[in-house]
């Protein structure tokens, strides 16, 4: 009995041309050997921007807002962001260092734990310095200090959404006085509710 080719299809995958054909032998269809092509796995993730807006993202570059609620102009409805903690660096860190002392570690652990118990679902941690060193140095120091605070939050299960160092670029007081510089050396924690 002769075999008849019923259908031949061509599939282009990654520049390779594959031919898939089925043959009929009698009344049973038998598939010929077709090479297996493994495609890319796209992993969806969720992230929250510093404004508290949830996004979905695929690792192929696709992205969109998570929340189905929209304002009349089509923009996303984002979570409320409140500054819920300011920790002055002189209380946590030795000058020019970013290791947190034991009492600072304990108070930050308590802060993150209580905040989560009170309905906070995410945290933004921002480090700041005074203006005594170079901009490059202050950016690095403020980022390292923000990372140290964020790490304590993550240790207790807090969802830390964003961690940034702003160096001397966002002062809250005048850097011309000792009191002003002391206020500028800080780590701010924003809570997303």
Q: What is the 3-state secondary structure (H, E, C) of 104-163?
A: HHHHHHHHHHHHHHCCCCEEEEEEECCCCCCHHHHHHHHHHHHHHHHHHHHHCCCCEEEE
Give yes or no: residues 27 and 50 share one domain: no
pTM, two decimal places: 0.64
Tokens found for residue 18? 């594959």
Show the tokens assigned to 113: 């734990």
Q: Are residues 116 and 165 in the same domain?
A: yes
- Residue 50 pLDDT class (50, 70, 90 cuts): low
What CATH number should be reported for the domain holding residue 141?
A: 3.30.1330.60
Sheet holding 16-25, edge to edge: 4-13, 16-25, 28-31
Domain identity same for 117 and 183:
yes
Number of domains within the chain: 3
In this predicted structure, which of 56-70, 94-108, 166-180 has the lowest mean pLDDT? Answer: 56-70
Could you tell me the sign of the dihedral formed by the alpha carbons of 43, 44, 48, 49, in that order? positive
**Whether the predicted pLDDT of 77 surpasses 60:** yes
88/182 same-domain check: yes
DSSP 8-state secondary structure symbol assigned to residue 166: -
Do 108 and 183 lie in one domain? The reply is: yes
Rounded Cα–Cα distance for residues 185 and 81 (Å): 22
25 pLDDT band (50/70/90 cuts)?
Answer: very low
Asked if residue 61 and residue 131 are part of one domain, the reply reads: no
Half-sphere exposure of 177 (CA within 13 A, CB side): 6
CA distance 135 to 167: 7
More confident residue, 15 or 37: 37
Pick the closest to residue 141 from 98, 104, 184, 86 (CA basis): 98
Mean pLDDT of 84-92: 92
133 and 186 both lie in a single domain: yes
- Domain range for residue 166? 81-192
Q: Are residues 29 and 68 in the same domain?
A: no
Q: Are residues 66 and 85 in the same domain?
A: no
Tokens in use for 118? 């009170």
| Lowest pLDDT segment from 23-27, 84-88, 173-177 | 23-27
Average pLDDT across the chain, whole number:
79
Please tell me whether residues 57 and 149 are part of one structural domain. no
Question: How would residue 125 be classed by pLDDT, with cut points 50, 70 and 90?
Answer: very high
Residues 73 and 90 in one domain: no
Query: Does one domain contain both 154 and 170?
Result: yes
């Amino acid at each position: 009995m002769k075999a008849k080719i019923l259908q031949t299809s061509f599939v282009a995958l990654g520049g390779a041309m594959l031919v898939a054909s089925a043959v009929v032998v009698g009344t049973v269809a038998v598939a010929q050997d077709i090479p297996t092509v493994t495609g890319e796995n796209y992993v969806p993730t969720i992230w929250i921007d510093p404004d508290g807006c949830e996004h979905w993202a695929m690792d192929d570059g696709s992205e969109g807002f998570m929340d189905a609620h929209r304002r009349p102009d089509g923009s996303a409805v984002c979570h409320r962001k409140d500054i819920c903690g300011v920790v002055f660096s002189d209380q946590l860190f030795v000058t020019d260092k970013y290791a947190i002392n034991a009492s600072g570690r304990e108070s930050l652990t308590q802060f993150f734990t209580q905040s989560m118990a009170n309905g906070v679902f995410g945290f933004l941690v921002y480090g700041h310095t005074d203006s005594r060193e170079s901009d490059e140095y202050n950016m690095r120091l403020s980022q390292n200090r923000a990372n140290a605070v964020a790490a304590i939050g993550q240790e207790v299960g807090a969802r830390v959404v964003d961690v940034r160092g702003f160096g001397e670029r966002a002062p809250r007081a005048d850097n011309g006085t000792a009191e002003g510089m002391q206020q500028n050396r800080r780590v701010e924690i924003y809570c997303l509710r």
